[in-house]
Chain A
Amino acid sequence: MSYTITCPICGKRDLYEFRFGNEERGPYPNQKGLTPRAYSEAVQMHEAVGGIQKEWWYHRDGCGVWFTTWRDTLTGREVLQPEETS
């Protein structure tokens, strides 16, 4: 079975139509008093979750929308938002 991601506009499409836009990491840090270390933490360090995480995706070969979805990095599959499954 091929891998898919659900675009909010185009629906379920092949994963290779999309570009990965990193794990969701909250708002960009406040520039005021930002140390190199805190900046590095915000832009370079990853949670690298082994399991379900919220991610940004871009429908590059489709409608061009940016959106978030949930995916399990241990299976490579898109999953429902955890709150909805419990």
Chain B
Amino acid sequence: MGSKRLWKKTRLKKSYDAVMIGGGIHGLAAAYFLARDHGITNVAVIERRYIGFGGSGRNTAIVRANQRTQGNVRLYDEGLKLWATLIRELDFNMMFYNCGNLNTLHSEAAMGAARLAVCTAQLSGVRSELLDRKQCKELIPALNIEDNITYPILGGMYHPPGGIVRHDAVAWALAKGASRYGVHIHQNTEVTNINVEKGKVTGIITNKGTLKSPRVLICAGGYGALLAQMAGIKLPIHPLTIQAMVTQPLKPILNHVISSGAYHVYANQTLKGEIATGAHMDPWPNYTTNTTPYYMKHQAEALTELLPCLKGVKFMRHWAGIADMTPDMAPILHGNDPIEGLYLDVGWGYFGFKSGPITGKYMAEYMAKARRPQILKPFSLRRFEQFRHTGETAGAFSYGPWN
């Protein structure tokens, strides 16, 4: 069993019933659910590098469902509940560790925003609560709740059902599951153009040949805007490089995911003992995954203010991915408009991991029935020209001591 391939090697066919551009969690999940729930098995997942190379393998593996707006919470909550089901169904240990997320708050403005987020969660039946700073310290004894730091902690938003999932395992498990239904996974295959005739998508051109397909899904993470351009679609997306790093392994000191909007830092201790931590994005567009010492310094400063016991601990690895940011920090899940058969699963920013499998499930339904599922209604591309933004930017992370 150990040396068996997880997914079959196949030859590129000339024609498929559906093609996913991007072999990350979103594309693999959409292919898996298209085959499992809708009987469409003549499907190809096209990946430029190898599966999980992009954002799927570069995130900090945090999952949660305590977003600001109800439309978002509904989707993420269903996504959070899906992990356990998928682990069983795919017979693959994704190491889901629901240790809970603590979001520290450093100003009255952030406390106010968190109060609203907690209300949204509770109204949606999601566990989330507001804590004072002593309760934060009880959760994470290593936390510094004194006034001797740049942004002293006033309280926190605690979300018990969240946690971490091993991201590589998610990609491998979905690939295994999809392949079992006959889905083709083509790695090292770059899409160079999307063919459109009379307002209908007809297929794609790759460096290994041309494929015909009446349905094409763009689910290429940070590269989504470049692919949409091939079909002549302009998106409200900025591709921003986002960096993350891990420290040397330590004994257990952090048994929850911790995040802070004011410090622009989020961290968790992996099962290996490393502190995995993510930073803010470079606020200018780039399709690069280069890292800079600026964020290493920033992370070290932020982490040692919040968790002073980390002073002197060394970073071991540092990497970057691309976040495709939309103006309202909510995704674009759209299809058949303006091009029939062309579907968009883009604009996830830095939320693409936690939403992967559940979005794949609903995008599969969208592609099979050519009708947008109710749960995806808030995420139309048209909302931008109607100026009906989702309101997600009003989350606690937008508020700090500077407000």
Contact = CB atoms under 8 A, between A and B. Distances in A.
Interface of A: 2-3, 15-16, 19-20, 23, 36-37, 40-41, 44-48, 50, 55, 71, 73-76
Given A19-B283, A20-B284, A40-B384, A2 B292 contact: yes
Nearest to B229: A48
B235 A45 contact: yes
Contacts of A73: 239, 285-288
B237 A37 contact: no
B402 interface: no
Given A20-B283, A40-B387, A48-B229, A76 B290 contact: yes
A34 B327 CA distance: 21
A76 B235 CA distance: 21
Contacts of B238: 46, 48
Contacts of B225: 46, 48
Contacts of A23: 285
A74 B287 contact: yes
Nearest to A57: B284
A36 B385 CA distance: 6
A18 B316 CA distance: 29
A48 B235 contact: yes
Nearest to A74: B287
A23 B239 CA distance: 12
Contact of A44 (B285, B287, B327): B327
Given A36-B385, A45-B236, A76-B290, A50 B327 contact: no
A3 B284 CA distance: 12
A20 B286 CA distance: 12
Nearest to A36: B385
Given A20-B283, A46-B225, A73-B288, 5 more contacts: A36-B386, A41-B234, A46-B236, A48-B225, A76-B288
B379 to A, nearest CB: 15
Nearest to B285: A73
A60 to B, nearest CB: 11
Interface residues of B, number: 25
10 contacts: A2-B292, A2-B293, A16-B292, A20-B284, A37-B385, A40-B236, A40-B385, A44-B236, A50-B226, A55-B284
Contacts of A41: 234, 385
A76 B284 CA distance: 9
A35 to B, nearest CB: 9
A14 to B, nearest CB: 8
A49 to B, nearest CB: 8
A74 B288 CA distance: 6
Interface string B293-335: 1100000000000000000000000000000000100000000
Nearest to B387: A36
Given A2-B292, A75-B288, A76-B288, A44 B384 contact: yes
A19 B229 CA distance: 26
A32 B385 CA distance: 17
Given A3-B292, A36-B386, A40-B385, A48 B285 contact: yes
Contact of B234 (A2, A20, A45, A55): A45
Contacts of A15: 284
Contacts of B287: 50, 73-74
Nearest to A77: B288
Contacts of B229: 48
A74 B241 CA distance: 11
A23 B285 CA distance: 9
Lowest 5 CB-CB distances: which A-B pairs, in order? Answer: A20-B284, A48-B225, A40-B385, A44-B236, A37-B385
B107 to A, nearest CB: 23
B306 to A, nearest CB: 22
A83 B402 CA distance: 43
Contacts of A74: 287-288
